[in-house]
Every structure is written in structure tokens, then in C-alpha cells.
A = this chain, B = another copy of it.
Amino acid sequence: MDSEKGDKSADVNQSTVDVKPKKKSGGKKEKPANANKPTANASSNKGKKKETGLGLTNTKDGNFGEWYSEVVVNGEMIEYYEISGCYILRPWTMSIWEMMQTYFDAEIKKMKIKTCYFPLFVSNTVLQKEKDHIEGFAPEVAWVTRSGDSDLEVPIAIRPTSETVMYPYFSKWIRGHRDLPLKLNQWCNVVRWEFSNPTPFIRSREFLWQEGHTAFATKEEADTEVLEILELYRRLYEEYLAVPVVKGKKSEMEKFAGGLYTTSVEAFIPNTGRGVQGATSHCLGQNFAKMFEINFEDEKGEKNMVWQNSWAYSTRTIGVMVMVHGDDKGLVIPPKVAAVQVIVIHVPFKEIDVDKLKNAVQETVKTLCELGIRAEADIRENYSPGWKWSHWEQKGVPLRIDIGPRDIANNQVCVVRRDTGEKINLPMAELGKVKEMLDDVQQNLFNVAKQKRDACVQVTKTWDEFIQALGQKKLILAPWCDEEEVEKEVKLKTKGETGAAKTLCSPFEQPELPEGTLCFASGKPAKKWTYWGRSY
């Protein structure tokens, strides 16, 4: 139920990469980082870029934390909020969130999963029901104790996740086998009051997510759904966000608190050498069913407990996308989730007829929109082309089309790819090719990200190799004995300034494990290949 859960059971003292706002938004008088608007007008449009003071001050390789913070603020995705760990999600973020939601919601509706909405609040009694579960969440639960000037009779918790909110009602609604399966999903906010290293999207005190909760008569049905949902999450990352992920199973230590087993899609950030749990699909087994007495009468009239799943992805997905694709010019948004796929700009030169250029821009946008492309014009006269180039680069728009006097003369436009910087002269009659170009950008973003990720994978078979690879920020694939004590020991031994190493997942696609292979850490016989690394 928890894209961020794995990390929480980890050593809370680990220090992660420092991702702090360059400028806090406390003072209203303070200008935002992107408020440096040029005073230049369109009549002098050359060489403005350097004068504007636009562009990032940090680099992705130089100082990743500062870079990330600058990218999400300058790209107008995030505004830092006065309460630490809470962030304002601006329209540039929400359009991505909505596009993902449209895809995912339609897919789960095909699976006959229905939308519901359960309350934000949960009583202490219910929250405490499943012991392992509450142990995992208790330290970060926010409590409402007062309304107006009056103390509440008993404090009320804000949901950190909704298992305990929902399952008393599952118990009420499920009587017989005909009430099964029960398949619900809600889109909502949840609160986890973390104190360590808040990071926009990746680790925030409030975040948006969907949480699916389902109950079945048999374990087989539950198992099947866990993987169906995980596949949707893989597609979300790979086909929409162009981020390669590994599907696998979490270790006992890293699984969802109170569940039977947890599957996840795991992404990797090469620059920091950290894994990031992308989304999780849990089989809860019958643990919650037992605590909440969710029983049904089967066909033979016998009483049985249901099998349950829960699964979620959150706004964290967007942070992973930014970290993977962003570059020293700013955001890079994959076309499939970009609110603006093509920005069209007029580039005036000397005594050119500006209206003619602007008309050509408008015509181009019209044609592209008719082709089903999300295109917009930027024909503002108070910003120089240089300023606009930098602005839209920072916002990560996949393609830019420049139209200048020479383009008009040649009956063409100049298309600039955000991902490669490549410039292509395209005859106006061939604007239909923009669609293919967008597909190509989408595919290229995925390919490049996958190459980078794959280049980080390091197979290690001994402790020394493991430590060396960890130091080199690798995504480590190692044979493991699958014992909890050993994972604990690895964590303890690697605990340091940049955080302990832990298991990320055991991939479903297992390389061959020759008989006699030993665990890199314990020297005992290895049972499986597992990814290890530091993580968000």
C-alpha cells in the first residue's frame, strides 16, 4: 500500500542525498527562481539568452540534490510550501498526474475495480488492529486532537494508508462467496509525518496516490491480480514515463507491514546510485482478514477467510521521471505525459513582418492540433526568442518549432528535439511527421535511460566486490541466501554517511543460479539473485 514503505523500515539515521530548496518560499517578498523576466522585446532578439540570467545554476552531475530542487521549481512543477515536507503541485505537475490517472483508471475499470472514497480519519482502536502494520506506520501518523478551541474526546489519526480504514467495512459487506471478489480503488491524499530529508515527489509528508484494495475467495485469484496490477505499473513507468523498471519481489524485511508478500517495480537513479521503489502491489494474504474478521460462506456453506491485496502508486512516479530524464537545461518530459508536446515560436529577424511569422505559428499550431498533437504557440512579443528557448527547455517540452523569415521563405519549419538537441528542417507540408518524431523522442528517452541503468548493473559474488560496487554507485545484482539476519548485517556493515545498502528486489527474471553458488554476504548456499543498493 505504499510506494515509500520499504525505505521506512530501513535505518532512519541514514543520510540521503541532500535535496533542499535553494530558496525557501517563506517570505512573500522573495522572488521565485524563475521570476527573472527579460525586459528585452522582440525587436532585438539575438544573443538574449545569456543576458536573461535564465537557466540552471546547478548541474546534474555536479550537485544532484540542488539540481533536482532547482529543476522542479524552475520547471514550474513544484513550489516549496511554508510547512516543511509539503509541496505545492503546480499545473505542470498535475497535467502529468492527470494523464497517468486517465490511463490507469481506465485500465482498472476494465478489471471491474470500482471507485470509492473512504474518510481521511481513522480511530486509534481500528488503526491498532493489525500489529505489524501499525508498528510500521505508528511513528509517522499525524493526530488531530482539537477542533476549534475544544479538545476532541479521543485523538483521531489521519490515514497513512487505508487498510484499517476500509477493512471493518469489508467485513460488513462480505457475507457469502457471491459478494466476492470485492474490488475497490480510491484516489486520495495520505499523510506520513516524516522527519528525515523531505524531497519533492519522492518523500513528502502529504502525497497523492491511488490505493486499490481487493478481496478474493482464493489465493490464486489474489496472486493473479497482484501481477496484473504490477504489469500496469510497469507500463506506467516504461510506456508513459519512459523509465525502465525491474519487476520483482521484496525481501521479508522490506515487504509491506502486515502483508504476506510485496511485489514492486524498482527504478534506479544512476547519478546518485540509488534505487527507488516505484510502486508496490501487495498480497496481504489472510492477516488482515483474520484481524478484521473478513469471512465468507463458500459454496459448501463453510466459513472461510478472504484473501486480500492492496496496491498503490503515488506522485513519487513524477519525481522518478524528473530524476531520470532531466538534464542540465532542466526538465525533460516524455511526450506521452507532456501537457504541451510541441511549443511553436516565432523568431523575428530585422525588418521582418512579425504578423506574417505569427500567422505561420498559429497555422502550424492549428495543423498540429488537428493531428491530435498537444501543440501551443508562444508568440508573446515581450519575451525574446532566447528567453523562450530557455524557458521551454526548462519546462521540458519534447519538441520546439521555430519559425523565422528564412523558414517562411523556404516553406519549412525548424523542429528542435529537447532530448537530443537535434535540429530538423521540416517542410510545412510534412507536419504530419511530427507525430513520428514525438514517438521517436518517447522511445529514445526510454532507450537512453535503459542504457544508463543497464550500465550501472554490477554482478558481485563476494563481499569485497559488493563493497567496491557500492562505492561506485552500482545497482548490485548478487546471489543471496535470502535470510533476514544476513540482510540486517549487510545494512549494519554498510551504514555510513550516504546510507546503508539493502535489498531492492529479487527480480522475477532470474539469471541462472548454478548449483553451489554462495551468498555474497554470508557464504551460505545462495537461493536467488537479488538487487541491492542504497535507495530513496
Contact = CB atoms under 8 A, between A and B. Distances in A.
Contacts of A292: 28
A104 interface: no
Contacts of A514: none
A41 interface: no
B139 A115 contact: no
A118 interface: yes
A146 to B, nearest CB: 4
Nearest to A382: B178
Find the residue from A98, A142, A158 having the highest chain B CB count within 10 A: A142
A530 to B, nearest CB: 31
A208 B117 CA distance: 9
A174 B460 CA distance: 54
Contacts of A144: 142-145, 158
Interface in A84-127: 86-91, 93-95, 97-98, 114-123, 126
A509 interface: no
A184 interface: yes
Given A146-B155, A147-B143, A171 B117 contact: no
Interface string A452-489: 00000000000000000000000000000000000000
A79 B191 contact: no
A7 interface: no
A140 interface: yes
B143 A114 contact: no
Nearest to A195: B147
Contacts of A193: 147-148
Contacts of A93: 117
A91 B119 contact: no
A380 B179 CA distance: 12
A293 B189 CA distance: 30
A128 to B, nearest CB: 13
A19 to B, nearest CB: 18
Find the residue from A25, A28, A114, A171 having the highest chain B CB count within 10 A: A28
Nearest to A32: B172
Contact of A94 (B28, B89, B117, B147): B117
B28 A293 contact: yes
A425 B380 CA distance: 63
Contacts of A191: 120
Interface string A167-208: 011011101101000001000110101000000000001101
Contacts of A141: 147-148
A168 B28 contact: yes
A143 to B, nearest CB: 4
A138 interface: yes
Nearest to A169: B79
A126 B25 CA distance: 13
Contact of A139 (B32, B121, B138, B148): B148
Given A119-B87, A293-B28, A148 B138 contact: yes
Interface of A: 25, 28, 30-32, 35, 37, 79, 81-83, 86-91, 93-95, 97-98, 114-123, 126, 138-149, 155-156, 158, 168-169, 171-173, 175-176, 178, 184, 188-189, 191, 193, 205-206, 208, 292-293, 380, 382
